[in-house]
Amino acid sequence: MTEKEKTGRLAEESNCEVERKLPAKVRMRPKNQITVPSGVARTLQVHEGDELEFTVNDRGEMVVRGFTSVPTDQAWFFTPEWSAGEREASEQIAAGQTDFYEDVDALFAGLAEDDEDTGEDGER
């Protein structure tokens, strides 16, 4: 794989424009410490305090990904079901499938009407 192909592949995987010609070289310091070059950090979209995940494949190549830990009391937000609901809502908003209400009483009346229009199984 050429250097241009590597750079293009990295940009595709990170959905971010590569700002610095990669690969970059760093020197290992005491206690196995390295400094992530700023262009690599921007490409990975990581900042001070973020975590990095290192994986070594069968060919001895290392893959580095930005990694974010989620507090357990917020993990529900990252479930597949929640993500699917967020995508559905975003698509409906983009398609203009929204209702507007004058006040909270009208909102609840509209929700009650929707409940009457759907059966217990949620189907219209």
Model confidence pLDDT, tens digit, residues 53-85: 999 999 999 899 988 788 889 888 889 999 999
Q: Is the per-residue pLDDT at 36 higher than 60?
A: yes
What's the pLDDT band for 15 if we cut at 50, 70, 90? very low
User: Could you tell me if 101 and 95 are in contact, meaning their C-beta atoms sit under 8 angstroms apart?
Assistant: no
Q: Please give the single-letter amino acid code of residue 60.
A: G
The reply to whether 62 and 77 lie within a common domain is: no
The predicted model gives 103-117 an average pLDDT of 90
User: Could you tell me if 66 and 45 are in contact, meaning their C-beta atoms sit under 8 angstroms apart?
Assistant: yes
Write the DSSP string, 2-14.
-HHHHHHHHHHHH
- For residue 22, give its domain range: 3-67
25 falls within a domain: yes
pTM for the whole thing? 0.43
56 falls within a domain: yes
Provide the mean pLDDT of the chain. 82
Of 23, 21, 20, 19, give the one whose Cα is nearest residue 64.
23
CATH number at residue 63: 2.10.260.10
Q: Is the per-residue pLDDT at 22 higher than 60?
A: yes
The reply to whether 7 and 51 lie within a common domain is: yes
123 falls within a domain: no
Top pLDDT among 1 and 4 is at 1
Top pLDDT among 108 and 3 is at 108
The reply to whether 91 and 77 lie within a common domain is: yes
What's the pLDDT band for 16 if we cut at 50, 70, 90? very low
The reply to whether 101 and 78 lie within a common domain is: yes
44 falls within a domain: yes
**CA Rg value for the chain:** 23
Top pLDDT among 44 and 11 is at 44
